[in-house]
Amino acid sequence: MKLQPFILWVCVLLMCNTLFSQQTPKSASPDTIVQNFHRVDQVQPTQKEALVRFKVMDFRKQPLADIQLLVHHKRSNRHWQGTTDEYGEAFFLLPNNLEYATHVDQEVDYRKFSIPKKAKHTQSIRVVLMSTRIKEVEKNDTIYQYLTQGQMPTKSRVLVNIQMADLDNHPLSKEELYFVSKKTQKVYLALTNSKGSTQLMLPKGDTYCVQTYGFQDITCKTYEDTPHSRTSGFVLNTISTEEFKQREKERARLLAMRDSIRHEQRLRDSTRLAEMEGHNFYLQHFYAKRDFDKIKTNVEKVAFKDQEAIAKNPAYYAANNQEIKAMLYRNKDQWAAKRIIANIDCSMYQYLDELMVWNYSDEHEQSNNTYWLFNGFQNNSKPSGSGNDRRGIFHVPNNDVEGFCNTVDKIVNFSCGGSRLENVVEALILGAKDKSPEEELLFIADNYSDVSDLNKLKELHVPVRVLLTASEYGINEHYLEIAYRTGGSIHTIHEDIPSKNLQTLKDGQQLHVGKYVYQFFKGRFMKVG
């Protein structure tokens, strides 16, 4: 009978322990006390508990937010847990007359301190966090780093402080920045925080090329293998990845809409060949018999009508939406001899007539122009032995109607399958080969298609005159970059942007083309309005 009270007491104790364990968060053990007090809490010391204020800073005395602190009492194995606020502060109520150790972020036993046996005691502890530890995880040649906010450079690694913001200097959070090692080809990935900042510890003695989702090779930075510690800064203003993806979707939408319209027009035209005496010369050739003399006759008829209209109205081509003719006519006096690189994919057939009228109704043009035509789609084709038709890039061997149409035949048979990323720079490099100093390099571009090989621009040393079709909704920034980096110019149906206007741009300045605005930064252009 005497055991019954003892058994009852044990049962009560077990029930209490069960209830306590159910109420304790899974992330905190029973010996961890989460306090997380800050200024706004206005916590006061008590008779038996001291108020301890921790101030955490980096080596530049800048406050560090979101740093986890653990105050440990070794004898009782109890922990008090908190996190610093925007001022780098965290407050704790700790039993007095005891000795403690502080764990700061990844630093264990960073500071030991004691609290005297004194009622309503307060004290402050300043923590300068300087860590040289590096935690790295490598997955598929991509290196992910986990650094403390008080990270310090070392003799073998440079500390790179990164700041990303949009074009209005608002921080860009959750943005990925890639530093690609030239020596190892490994990629160091940086992910920005809510303030648009992040850090990397990069091995010295290497060059790293910086990339984002939208831009390749923004710049390359070399960090020499010096014996002293080094800290470096990297600031990038750009559009966010989300905004960049939205622009890609919008271009794809406009492209699909235009391609659909052109497809319907081609189907309709193919059934009306008998009525096409003065139009659609290439379609006559492609769908009907190859009567090149007839095509030549029709080309001359249209050219004669053009000459009559231009005599009355010098803006006739632009007013009638003949984009190629408008750009060539405005610049005919300064572009005598020309290397013309033309993107002739499925969406560009509408411009073939304009090229043929301009070229084959003028003997001077025909004798002074050289053509390279290409299908810009990426595909799995292999280079030929001659190297002149790599990836659908074809030279017009004889600059006459027959040679032009037969060359376009090859491109049409090359098909339009593939992505909308195009091998533009490769075509420009091939077309510029052996170009004489007197010749201008003209590129007739499909404004809706992006460029896949901008990284090859360093191999192109000739100014490119970019003639942009379908620019009514703004200019694809890739083509502005091609013109800028080669010292070339930009041309639309209504406007010419000369080389000097591009080359004199400073970081942050804006370029106005038509009704749209583009901001210039480190050799890149971004549409901002």
Among residues 214, 238, 262, which one ends one of the domains? 238
CATH code, 36: 2.60.40.10
For residue 95, being part of any structural domain is answered with yes
Among residues 93, 128, 163, which one ends one of the domains? 128
For residue 16, being part of any structural domain is answered with no
Among residues 107, 128, 149, which one ends one of the domains? 128
Q: What was the pLDDT predicted at 361?
A: 78
Same domain, 254 and 267: yes
- What gap in Å lies between CA 276 and CA 278, rounded to an integer? 5
Same domain, 114 and 232: no
pLDDT < 50: residue spans in the chain: 1-28, 266-279, 287, 378-390, 417-420
For residue 370, being part of any structural domain is answered with yes
Same domain, 211 and 260: no
For residue 88, being part of any structural domain is answered with yes
Same domain, 312 and 163: no
For residue 1, being part of any structural domain is answered with no
For residue 296, being part of any structural domain is answered with yes
Same domain, 370 and 431: yes
Rounded to whole angstroms, the maximal C-alpha distance in the chain is: 125
CATH code, 209: 2.60.40.1120
Determine how β-strand 142-146 pairs with β-strand 187-191.
Answer: parallel
- What is the crossing angle of helices 424-432 and 477-486, to 10°? 30
Q: What was the pLDDT predicted at 435?
A: 87
Instruction: Write down the H helix ranges in 361-476.
Output: 363-368, 401-414, 424-432
Same domain, 75 and 144: no
Q: What was the pLDDT predicted at 141?
A: 87
- What gap in Å lies between CA 431 and CA 340, rounded to an integer? 8
Question: What value does the mean pLDDT of the chain take?
Answer: 80
Closest CA to 409 of 418, 419, 396: 396
Q: What was the pLDDT predicted at 18?
A: 42
Q: What was the pLDDT predicted at 384?
A: 40
For residue 10, being part of any structural domain is answered with no
Same domain, 343 and 383: yes
Q: pLDDT of 375-400, one tens digit each?
A: 765 444 444 443 444 456 888 887 88
- Coil, strand or helix at 278: coil
- What is the crossing angle of helices 292-312 and 352-360, to 10°? 80
Same domain, 219 and 257: no
pTM (two decimals): 0.59
Same domain, 196 and 290: no
Q: What was the pLDDT predicted at 398?
A: 79
Q: What was the pLDDT predicted at 186?
A: 94
Domain count, the chain: 3
Same domain, 36 and 112: yes
For residue 158, being part of any structural domain is answered with yes
Q: What was the pLDDT predicted at 516?
A: 87
Determine how β-strand 187-191 pairs with β-strand 219-223.
Answer: unpaired
Q: What was the pLDDT predicted at 379?
A: 42
Parent domain of 230: 135-238
Same domain, 194 and 304: no
Contact call for residues 80 and 35 (beta carbons, < 8 A): yes
Same domain, 68 and 205: no
